[in-house]
Amino acid sequence: MNPATVETFLVTFVDWDVTVLEEQTVEPGSAATAPADPVRTGYTFTGWDADFSNVTDDLFVNAVYERIKYTVTFMADDVVFNRQIVEYGSKVVDPGEPVKAGHTFTGWDKDYSDVTGDLTVNAQFKINEYTVTFVDWNGEVLKTHLVPYGAGATAPVDPVREGFTFTGWDKNFTSITEDLTVTALYGINKYTIFFMADGVEFNRQTVEHGGAATDPGVPTKEGYTFTS
């Protein structure tokens, strides 16, 4: 007489992509032995989706994973501008454009469209340049040049104006933060007029360039008539 055939069940361990990791034949009421933890890029293996400690039928056991999360940090001038927690392979939400005085944002230094690890992304900036124009009293342009933000402009040679003395410029240009027009300033020259009578000072007046002295009156000299 043939001995009784012992019934067995097939336990199949399956990976996320339906790859068979291992098959085991188990007697009723027995436990299957899980294979080594499978590995999936960007995911953490968290266990199996079915209990196989007391097998009573053929059984498929599927590997369960949790997607790994990474931190993406956007930096602007060594200051955190934006920070996001992103799952493996996911896209980051556009963090917007950081602002830096006197600079134009040109983009980020790394691609963040497919995150596969913790990532630090740095803002890139281009320094702005501004036009500084030096003009004379009559609007004539003496010099024009581009100056980087925060830098100082270089003035032209002191201009010359007949009858006037150059005294400086009407604006400070040591730290440029915008387009700027700088105008030459002048002080009108003054002259001293001496009216003399027989070698002796009769009258003295200070007159601005282009102006006229006032009539000093008529000097007198005994025995003489003033003629001019």
Per-residue pLDDT reduced to its tens digit, 54-110:
999 999 999 999 999 999 999 999 999 999 999 998 889 999 999 999 999 999 999
Contacts of 78 (CB under 8 A, 6+ apart): none
pLDDT > 60? residue 1: no
pLDDT for the residue numbered 4? 60
**Number of alpha carbons in the 13 Å side-chain half-sphere of residue 199:** 0
| pLDDT for 3 beyond 70 | no
Name all domains of the chain by residue range, CATH numbers in brackets: 9-67 (2.60.40.4270), 69-127 (2.60.40.4270), 128-215 (2.60.40.4270)
Q: What is the pTM of this model?
A: 0.69
Higher pLDDT, residue 25 or 199: 25
Angstrom CA distances, 209 to 5, 129, 136, 151, 188, stand at 131, 41, 19, 38, 7
